[in-house]
Amino acid sequence: MTDDLATLLRHEADALHVPGAPAYDIVSAGQRRRRRRRAARAVVAAGLVTAVGIFASGLSWGHHSGSDHFEPADAGVLSGTEPTFTAKTIRLTPQVSVTLEQRPVIQLYSSAGLVVLTSPPDDPHQRPPYHLSLINAQGTRNDLGVTLSTSWVSAEYDQPYVAWAVPTTHGFEVVVRDLTTGRDVAQVPVDVRGRHPMPSHHGLVISLDGDTVYATAQGGGYAIDWRTGDVTDAPLLSIGRVVGVHGGRVLDYQAHQVKDVATGRLLLDIGPHGNGSLSPDGRYVLVTRDSGAIVVYDVQTGTRVRMSATFGVWGWTPDGRPLGLVSDDSRLVTCDPVDGDCTGTAYPSGRQLALPGESGYAVQIGVTG
């Protein structure tokens, strides 16, 4: 069964460590440049969404406007995979798996492979020291040689980078590494003296999104352009309100709305009855209703469609398909976010599977059988 909102947000936040609150400047320029690859077909729809502020209660059921065909996002080597894990074993597909020496804490999608943060094998609380590994499409693990004292780490489905933050005396430092070369391409110090939010023991949630690393904190956050070093305050990014940034969008759990992270503009209202999760590219939002129905909205057009399967544990594949665990008949299903059709593969009865949450944390765990 789906974690309720309070449990979901608490698990996301408790796995971390955070800062405190400021005014809205946020990044503009070209931080989401290539992400606008879908803009050409969405210009007219975007105008309609902006004008009426589309609400879930008034949306139409069915296929997308202008197309009934789902176009998978380009997730590099992870395209077509369905990552899950059981204890220390990670499965990219039913045929490809790898068993690690340490317990996975976070699975992060990148175009170069699956980035995995692990903790010591005998620690049930998944505490530091943490280590980073990269798993390629063949299931081969490469140690990235990174040891962290916090779980402030992120990657993005269509980029070959991983980003993390380390606490400093006056704030934190963001590091971005190129997974294809093994070299750090950015180190940006964030000095929070005299500004809010201030770092605290609750930690940060790091989101790599294009040229920007977003730091979600207690009471607000930061937008860090890792190419230029510019840092701006982002009040919308507050732990307990949002989890991560995807395609320049956030799901505001308090308002039950999808918003533009840079402007705060309302893009979609999903209604108060149910939990949600943005797809890795921000195109779709999956919502589980109190009735048990699972629907997926196209954020740009507002079109919604009901999934043909009902699953209590869910996530997303790297290329943007809903991924769910159907406990009743021990199936892991993937769904088409456009027509709602779900197909599945059987897993052995009694096996415990974990799917990555919105920011990669294994907050959703289901037992089949």
Does residue 26 register a pLDDT over 60? no
For residue range 266-310, what is the model confidence (pLDDT) as tens digits? 999 998 877 889 999 999 999 988 778 899 999 999 999 999 999
Interval 316-341 mean pLDDT: 90
List all residues 6 or more positions away from 249 whose beta carbon is below 8 Å from its beta carbon. Answer: 258, 259, 260, 261, 267, 278, 282, 299
Amino acid at 152: W
Identify which has the larger pLDDT, 351 or 81: 81
- Give the other-Cβ count within 10 Å of 320's Cβ: 23
Question: Span 52-68, mean pLDDT?
Answer: 41
Residue 318 pLDDT > 90, yes or no?
A: yes
Q: pTM of the full predicted structure?
A: 0.81
Q: Which positions ≥6 away from 121 have C-beta within 8 Å?
A: 88, 101, 102, 103
- Neighbouring CB atoms inside 10 A of 243's CB total 27
**Does residue 143 carry a pLDDT above 60?**
yes
pLDDT tens digits, one per residue of 209-236: 999 999 998 888 999 999 999 999 998 9
Cα 142 vs. chain centroid, distance in angstroms?
Answer: 23
**β-bridge mates for residue 12, sequence order:** none
Handedness of CA 185, 164, 107, 364 (dihedral sign): negative
DSSP tag of 76: G
What pLDDT was estimated at residue 274? Answer: 75
Round to whole Å and give the CA distance between 295 and 191. 42
Decide if 27 contacts 231 (C-beta within 8 A). no
Single out the residue of 264, 262, 242 nearest to residue 251, CA to CA.
Answer: 242
Read off the amino acid at residue 94.
Answer: P
- Indicate if the pLDDT at residue 80 is higher than 90: yes
Per-residue model confidence (pLDDT) at position 362: 63
Question: How much is the mean pLDDT over the chain?
Answer: 80
Residue 369's pLDDT is 39
- Tokens in use for 336? 């088409």
What are the pLDDT digits (tens) for 96-127?
999 999 888 899 999 999 999 999 877 767 78
pLDDT at residue 46, rounded to an integer? 37
